[in-house]
Amino acid sequence: MSTNDVVKVHLVRRFDAAPESVFDAWLTPRTLGRWMFGHRPDETVLGLDVDARVGGRFSLRVDRGDGPVNHVGRYQVLDRPRLLEFTWGIEDESDDDAVTSVVRLSLVPSGDGCELTLTHQMDARWAEYRDRTEQGWNRMLAALARLFD
């Protein structure tokens, strides 16, 4: 993915939790299932599979009323609790050989909590989904923050 052909979503959010807790919430299926999906009334979590290691894959299957969608990816960087990076795509639309989407999470301590910076970098062919992607991440990060209230 060349930098000229990239669309980015960039979000910063503060959490009332230690960086370790927020980092782990992205990798523990039971916790992940409490915030990433299933908080919309039309959304049902069908299954979450996580192989939390560099090179490991994840599969996050949900149904939003119009059939199942499988969000898939591969972990590229796991530097607990500072940095998490993974590819992100939809099964049947993703090609492991031509990564079109990468999510990078950076966590830094902030007071008695932490600040998370999320950058989702997408191939330009996904530009029409940029705003929808930003809304989705904002909704998910708000649900994640509620875990620590």
CB atoms within 10 A of CB 103: 20
Supply the CATH number for residue 9's domain.
3.30.530.20
Residue range 128-148, pLDDT digits in tens: 989 999 999 999 999 999 999
Residue 57 in domain: no
Distance CA 149, CA 146 (A): 5
With beta carbons less than 8 A apart as the criterion, state whether 44 and 38 touch: yes
- Indicate whether 125 belongs to any domain: yes
84 in any annotated domain: yes
Range of the domain at 36: 3-41+77-147
Assess if residue 25 is contained within a domain. Answer: yes
Please give the Cα distance from 42 to 110 (Å, whole number): 35
Nearest to 30 by CA among 50, 53, 7, 59: 50
| Residue 108 main-chain phi, psi, to 5 deg | -135, 145
Does residue 100 form part of some domain? yes
Residues 6+ apart with CB under 8 A from 132: none
Asked whether residue 88 is assigned to any structural domain, the reply reads yes
Number of domains in the chain: 1
* pLDDT above 90 coverage of the chain, percent: 72
Asked if the structure places residue 105 within a domain, the reply is yes
Identify the pLDDT of residue 43.
86
Residues 29-43, mean pLDDT to the nearest whole number: 86
What's CA 64's distance to the chain center, in Å? 17
Residue at 104 is within a domain = yes
Q: CA-to-CA distance for 101 and 124, rounded, in angstroms?
A: 10
From the list 36, 25, 12, 32, the residue with the least C-alpha distance to 110 is 12
